């Protein structure tokens, strides 16, 4: 569940820290725990996984690249959705997906070989059957970006085929 400060996203997929560790379980994980003993199946590694979790589960590859020493390091983590940052002004969801996966730098992304700042790029390694997308509208000053975001009825930009828009949850308010 979500608690008093939960939004629709954290209620559905839970909350993870920067390292991908679960801080708060969401509905998907709670349903998975309830069903794993009865209505479960096994994933590619042989681990039990509920059919609900399989529908939302995707794998994200995070690549850190150092342009100074050309060292690259990849890590994989499971996710139950994709978070995108809202642009300053109006935006198209498809453009946000492309730019959301574009290279960027973060002060904590340091090269393990030479200690310099690395660029970070995320890739959707394994796509889910049901793609949950969160558009983060907060800026660094904790103000809500009020720009318009256009959601297409279909997304054709993925390897696994066409995703069709099923629903949109819109938060009204400043926080």
pTM: 0.63
Question: How far is Cα 49 from Cα 54, in angstroms, rounded to an integer?
Answer: 7
Which sign does the torsion angle of CA 24, 74, 132, 130 carry?
negative
Q: With beta carbons less than 8 A apart as the criterion, state whether 95 and 147 touch.
A: no
The residue count of the chain comes to: 175
pLDDT along the chain (175 residues), means of 10: 55 74 74 54 53 78 91 89 76 77 78 91 83 77 76 77 80 62
102 is written with which tokens? Answer: 């574009």
Give the model's pLDDT for residue 23. 78
pLDDT of residue 91: 77
- What confidence score (pLDDT) does residue 168 get? 78
Q: What is the pLDDT of residue 116?
A: 92
């Amino acid at each position: 569940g979500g608690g008093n400060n939960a939004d629709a996203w954290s209620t559905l997929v839970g909350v993870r820290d920067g390292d991908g560790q679960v801080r708060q379980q969401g509905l998907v994980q709670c349903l998975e725990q309830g069903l794993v003993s009865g209505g479960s199946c096994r994933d590619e590694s042989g681990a039990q996984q509920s059919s609900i979790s399989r529908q939302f589960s995707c794998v994200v590859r995070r690549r850190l690249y150092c342009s100074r020493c050309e060292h690259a390091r990849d890590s994989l983590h499971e996710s139950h959705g994709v978070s995108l940052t809202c642009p300053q002004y109006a935006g198209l969801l498809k453009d946000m997906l492309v730019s959301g996966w574009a290279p960027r730098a973060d002060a904590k992304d340091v090269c393990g070989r030479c200690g310099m700042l690395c660029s970070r790029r995320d890739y959707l390694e394994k796509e889910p059957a049901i793609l949950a997308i969160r558009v983060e509208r907060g800026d660094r000053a904790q103000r809500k970006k009020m720009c318009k975001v256009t959601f297409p009825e279909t997304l054709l930009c993925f390897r696994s085929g066409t995703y069709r828009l099923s629903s949109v949850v819109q938060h009204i308010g400043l926080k």
